[in-house]
Amino acid sequence: MRTSPLQQLYSYGQGSRVFSTTFGFSIPPCDLKAYLDKEYSIPAIENDIRSASTRLIVACAGPNDKVVGFAQLTEFTSEPCIEDLESIVELQRLYVDPDYHGSGIGKTLTKEVEAMARSQGYRIIWLGVWEGNFAAQRVYEAMGFTRVGEHEFKMGRCIQTDWIMIKDL
């Protein structure tokens, strides 16, 4: 029996797995677990999917339509370093399965999210990227994002710094 992409997000913990693979080395295991239990639990994912202010795009590949990435567009969020609060939207999550890094899936998801944001009337898209994720920073810069500030990102008791980046749409 085939599973839908949303069922895969639930049952295989795609977001949790990709987050752990990408960032797990940088924080204590107890803090990682606390963060994942809060942000990637089934109720949290269901809340994101049901929220009127959140849009989710899922990328699938292969004969079984395996979920290999997803992106989340979230309305009504901002940061103090962003000036135009009327027409901004957040690219809150962009995760690609490590087996598919370099395949263009992340760029395709980003372009789709940007098109969705433009169609909804947004002029600026923003995101937070961990200061230690140099590869992602380079990709975002190549796609036209610029750094405008930073904020603290809390996972359990661990606090890291994210760069805030924006792009005109």
pLDDT for position 121:
95
Contact (CB, 8 A) for 112 and 93: no
Instruction: Decide if 42 contacts 11 (C-beta within 8 A).
Output: no
**CATH classification (class only), 5-168:** alpha beta
3-state secondary structure of 30: helix
Please give the Cα distance from 95 to 16 (Å, whole number): 10
Helix axes 29-39 and 14-23, enclosed angle (nearest 10): 150
Low-confidence ranges of the chain (pLDDT < 70): 1-14
